[in-house]
Amino acid sequence: MKRNLTRLAGAGALEALRADLARRRDPRRLRVRICMTGCRAQGAEEVLKAFEAEIARRGLGERVDLLATGCHGFCAQAPVLVVDPHDFFYGKVTPADVSEIVESSLLADRPVERLLYTDPASGVKVQKAAEVPFYKEQVKIVLRNCGLIDPRDIRQYIERDGYAAAAKALTSLSPEQVIEQVSLAGLRGRGGAGFPTGRKWSLARASQSAVKYLVCNADEGDPGAFMDRAVLEGDPHSVLEGMILAAYAIGATEGVVYVRAEYPIAVEHLKIAIADAQALGLLGSDILGTGFCFNIKIRKGSGAFVCGEETALMASIEGRRGMPRPRPPFPAQSGIWGRPTCINNVETLANIPPILLKGGAWYSGIGTEKSKGTKVFALAGKVNNTGLVEVPMGIPLRKVVFDIGGGIPEGLAFKAVQTGGPSGGCIPRAFLDQPVDYESLAAVGSIMGSGGMIVADERTCVVDFSRFFLEFIQEESCGKCVPCRIGTKRMLEILEDICAGRGRAEDLDTLQELASAIKDTALCGLGQTAPNPVLTTMKYFGEEYRAHIAEGKCPALVCKSLIRYDILADKCTGCMACLKACPADAVTGEKKKVHEIHQDKCIKCGACHAACRFDAITIT
Amino acid sequence: MSPKPDAVDIGPILARYPCEEGQASLMGLLQDIQEEHGYLPVQALERVSAHLKVPIANIHGVVSFYAQFSLVPRGMHIIKMCMGTACHIRGGQGVLEEIRSVLAIRDRETTADRLFTLEVVRCLGTCFLAPVIMIDEKYYGSLTPAKVRKILAGYRDGK
């Protein structure tokens, strides 16, 4: 990446740079935007290389821009790319497709039909990205630049109004006025708890101290949530600009991004972004000639889920075991090294620049009465269109799962959706028309959380699902307080028993009792919310628990101790496929004769079921 | 990344972290050592303790708290098996069991030939690939027990 960045003397110089960049932008120019973050896992780098080679071979370098962008959101179609100015959307692209894309779309302005997205509902091929049903209902504020710009090029961010909000605030707004706009916007913390951001900033502003810290919580540990990763990778400057604004508002001079070590691309892009922002005088001392100083450092996490909790996160930044402590004192009074500290989540911070630029009133016009703006959800699990979705608060759950998410694969039935990860709840079909906002989710026993949305189909066992979350909590519990350390262990043991067919009638009452004690007495949010998956599944799927306990049956056919595999004599052709696939030698039989599964040897791995081409193996 | 004998030279890493910063530098230092040497040799931790003037017991407390730190040498290839929610409901457990049985190791163990270390992690943030594993820097998605067996065999054959 070319870097001849000279320090901007002031807001005027930034504006001049933006005007210059905009003037040079030709809207008709050919451009290929390839996701080079999440899609790397599906071979996007090879596709990019193929484009480079093909463009060089045909001598098109002067006419075509090849952009390595962040996440486009539609991860199920990875690797994805868009050809501008036509807005042709291609998914599941391989290097072998590249020469045809260049030939048709770049040289002849025609789409490559076979690579276009097919709407499964209508069977119609969709040409333009904007018309793909997955994108139609979305409103992009946080993800406004993801997939559109090269995150390693600060100029592309600047061209799209980047750092204009920071310039505006630093030159024409007081810190109090910045807080006022954020309060007016009604923005609430996107990390999970939903605390009003404006109020958090007021508290930190009110603390008197020569040194204050502003921390960006990028320790996205909720299994199934990946929006913070996408923002950091695809648009790191929006987070940095949000941090500058937050720091100005509360009076902080030191910033820290605490980022998960499992996100190497995010760390790499953050490093580049910080260096470039420093070079342009947008970070460091005397930012844009206004006298305001703010530095940002990166701290990498080391794999502890509890470090998403703010007091644990601060302990980790101080180089200690990441264990929470009781509050008060709140971080706004006494945080890192005893100094006032304000901690905001990645998505929260990425919302700040547009709010300052367009005004709090604009933002509060989106969403519901108490939940303003948009929310990014990571849609995953048993859903067709896995990916990142940004929608206005208050959108019905059904719209997210079915219209945007494309429903359940293999024609199976929807069972539930889990929001908020291990701290959240399982929402059944009956609530599909509920709006998605902080209050409505809480009303059904779940939480917004960081925005993970895992869809479960009829083949998901909710008892096993709850067991999974408690196993997670047990592993991640820091061990400091008894309710979480031992209480969740007892709950896990009970659930393991139920899944193994050893459930007892009184188990459900014991689970209830433990759950309410843990909710009331655990030290931090991790423990207090840990019983939520169990409580909601017991409430909405009680009959499934009872089937496990009373009848020794797992209705979803998941719990191994409660199911058996058998061969249907009338369908078995004696092909020996299952016999060969069985790792436990539990299948016997001769060629062209009906096989048999020996239950004493069967380990219930399902290999025979997967291998059978004649539907001759049943699970009961 | 390949494991080296215990006598590792961490001098250049220590030089990057001023001793005055004390415990504040600890995490970064440990991360750098592990990245360069593959694990945290005890001798190195003793040097860290002397350099930062942080008691060794304190350092051990930190090392044992965070899942990413390892006190023993790890294999040539690190297999990160995702057991996030999406991977769980899409059959991650079966894939994990297959890896365990093929390699005959459990979580955080290394094969006798030092070729593989298995690390069960909670969500790699690539839920669209579920169930997914990462071997070193490469992702393998939409796995089944049969697919993962083939992938491991490929590494064994030096592919």
Q: How far apart are CA A435 and CA A441, in angstroms?
A: 8
Residue in A300, A318, A454 closest to B86 by CB: A454
Q: Which long-range contacts (CB under 8 A, 24 or more apart) does A124-127 make?
A: A126/A89, A127/A86, A127/A87, A127/A88, A127/A89
Residue in A42, A261, A380 closest to B86 by CB: A380
Query: In chain A, which stretches have pLDDT less than 50?
Result: none
Residue in A223, A322, A606 closest to B122 by CB: A223
Number of alpha carbons in the 13 Å side-chain half-sphere of residue A376: 31
Chain B neighbors of A319, CB-CB under 8 A: 22-27, 54, 62
State the residue range of the domain holding B30: 11-65
Q: pLDDT tens-digit profile of A199-215?
A: 999 999 999 999 999 99
Chain A neighbors of B132, CB-CB under 8 A: 41
CATH 3.40.30.10-classified regions of chain A: 25-132
Residue in B85, B121, B145 closest to A224 by CB: B85
**In whole angstroms, how far apart are CA A501 and each of A382, A483, A506?**
26, 26, 14
Chain A neighbors of B65, CB-CB under 8 A: 304, 321-323, 478
**Mean per-residue pLDDT of chain B:** 91
Partnered with residue A298 across adjacent β-strands are: A257
- B3 band by pLDDT with thresholds 50, 70 and 90: very low
For chain B, what is the total number of helices (H) and then of strands (E)? 7, 4
Chain B neighbors of A605, CB-CB under 8 A: 94, 97, 145
Q: Please, are residues A347 and A228 in contact by the beta-carbon 8 Å criterion? A: yes
Percent of chain B with pLDDT over 70: 95
Look at residue B125 and tell me if it is in a domain. yes
For residue B117, the domain's CATH number is 3.40.30.10
Yes or no, beta carbons of A223 and B97 under 8 Å apart: no
What is the arrangement of strands in the sheet containing A414-419, beginning at the earlier edge strand? A387-392, A374-381, A452-457, A414-419, A425-428
- B126 band by pLDDT with thresholds 50, 70 and 90: confident
Domain A161-364 falls in which CATH fold? Rossmann fold (3.40.50)
Residue in B54, B62, B132 closest to A321 by CB: B62
Yes or no, beta carbons of B85 and A320 under 8 Å apart: no
Interface probe for A, chosen from B89, B136, B144 (most Cβ of A below 10 Å), is B89
Domain A25-132 falls in which CATH fold? Glutaredoxin (3.40.30)
Domain A564-619 falls in which CATH fold? Alpha-Beta Plaits (3.30.70)
CATH 3.30.70.20-classified regions of chain A: 564-619
**Burial classification of residue A130, based on how many CB atoms lie within 10 Å of its CB (0-12 exposed, 13-18 middle, 19 or more buried):** exposed
Q: Provide the phi-psi class of A163: left if phi over 0, else alpha when psi is between -120 and 50, else beta.
A: left
Residue of B nearest to A37 (CA): B126
* Alpha-carbon gap: B141 to the closest alpha carbon of chain A (Å): 8
Yes or no, beta carbons of A261 and B31 under 8 Å apart: yes
Exposed e or buried b for every residue in A333-352, given b needs 16+ CB within 10 A?
bbbbeebbbbbbbbbbbbbb
CATH 3.40.50.11540-classified regions of chain A: 161-364
Per-residue pLDDT at B2 exceeds 50? no
Q: How far apart are CA B148 and CA B133, in angstroms?
A: 9
Q: How far apart are CA A475 and CA A482, in angstroms?
A: 14
Q: How far apart are CA A328 and CA A56, in angstroms?
A: 62
Judge if B84 and B58 occupy the same domain.
Answer: no
Tell me, yes or no, if B27 comes closer than 8 A to chain A by beta carbon: yes
Look at residue B17 and tell me if it is in a domain. yes
Judge if B44 and B85 occupy the same domain.
Answer: no
Q: How far apart are CA B71 and CA B34, in angstroms?
A: 9
Percent of chain B with pLDDT over 90: 79
Look at residue B6 and tell me if it is in a domain. no
Chain B neighbors of A222, CB-CB under 8 A: 123
pLDDT at A3: 66
Judge if B97 and B152 occupy the same domain.
Answer: yes
* Alpha-carbon gap: B9 to the closest alpha carbon of chain A (Å): 22
Architecture of domain A462-551: Up-down Bundle (1.20)
Domain A374-457 falls in which CATH fold? Ubiquitin-like (UB roll) (3.10.20)
Q: Please, are residues A223 and A421 in contact by the beta-carbon 8 Å criterion? A: yes
Q: Are strands B77-82 and B116-121 parallel, antiparallel or unpaired?
A: parallel
Tell me, yes or no, if B6 comes closer than 8 A to chain A by beta carbon: no
Yes or no, beta carbons of A472 and B121 under 8 Å apart: no
For the entire predicted model, the pTM comes to 0.94
Judge if B32 and B96 occupy the same domain.
Answer: no
Q: How far apart are CA B70 and CA A121, in angstroms?
A: 50
pLDDT at B159: 57
pLDDT at B1: 46
* Alpha-carbon gap: B112 to the closest alpha carbon of chain A (Å): 23
Q: pLDDT tens-digit profile of B31-72?
A: 999 999 999 999 999 999 999 999 999 999 999 999 989 999
Instruction: Tell me the two tokens of residue A245.
Output: 């604004």
Number of alpha carbons in the 13 Å side-chain half-sphere of residue B15: 4
Judge if B86 and B152 occupy the same domain.
Answer: yes
Judge if B94 and B142 occupy the same domain.
Answer: yes
Interface probe for A, chosen from B21, B65, B70, B140 (most Cβ of A below 10 Å), is B65
Judge if B83 and B131 occupy the same domain.
Answer: yes
Instruction: Tell me the two tokens of residue A284.
Output: 């460091």
Judge if B16 and B81 occupy the same domain.
Answer: no
Q: Please, are residues A192 and A221 in contact by the beta-carbon 8 Å criterion? A: no
What total of structural domains would you count in chain B? 2
Judge if B55 and B95 occupy the same domain.
Answer: no
Q: Which among A334, A298, A331 has a CA at the least distance from the CA of A317?
A: A298
Residue in B24, B30, B89 closest to A382 by CB: B89
Judge if B18 and B44 occupy the same domain.
Answer: yes
Q: Which among A229, A52, A35 has a CA at the least distance from the CA of A150?
A: A35
Look at residue B2 and tell me if it is in a domain. no
Judge if B45 and B87 occupy the same domain.
Answer: no
Judge if B38 and B98 occupy the same domain.
Answer: no
Cis omega (within 30 of 0) for bond into A329: yes
